[in-house]
Amino acid sequence: MNDNTMFPGLALIIAAGIQLSCQLFKFVVYSIRDGRIEPRYLTTAGGIPSAHSAFVVSVTTGVGWLYGSWCTILSVN
């Protein structure tokens, strides 16, 4: 373990921020593409970037960074 384990919730907070960023990016890009603002793009699933995939990768990376890649909790993730 390194010294970053003082705040273990950091990985989850960063992952949630990444997921929200992906949804916002998707909203902006699709709204520009369609020429109108569609609030449903903030909640739709699928598309590029995938907010779910970004969240999972962020949590996995954060846990690996906090606890090390040898940690058994990484295999659960």
**Model pLDDT for residues 9-61, shown as the tens digit of each residue:** 787 888 888 888 888 888 898 889 989 988 887 777 777 778 888 888 888 88
Q: Are 70 and 4 in contact (CB under 8 A)?
A: no
Residue 32 included in any domain: yes
- Asked, for residue 2, whether it belongs to a domain, the answer is no
**Position of tokens 């909790």?**
73
Asked, for residue 20, whether it belongs to a domain, the answer is yes
pTM score: 0.69
Extract the tokens encoding 59. 């949590």
Q: In terms of residue numbers, what domain contains 24?
A: 8-76
**Structural domain includes residue 60:** yes
Number of domains in the chain: 1
- Sort 22 into a burial class: Cβ within 10 Å, 0-12 / 13-18 / 19+: buried
Alpha carbon distance 33, 37 (integer Å): 10
Is 61 inside any structural domain? yes
d(CA 10, CA 5): 9
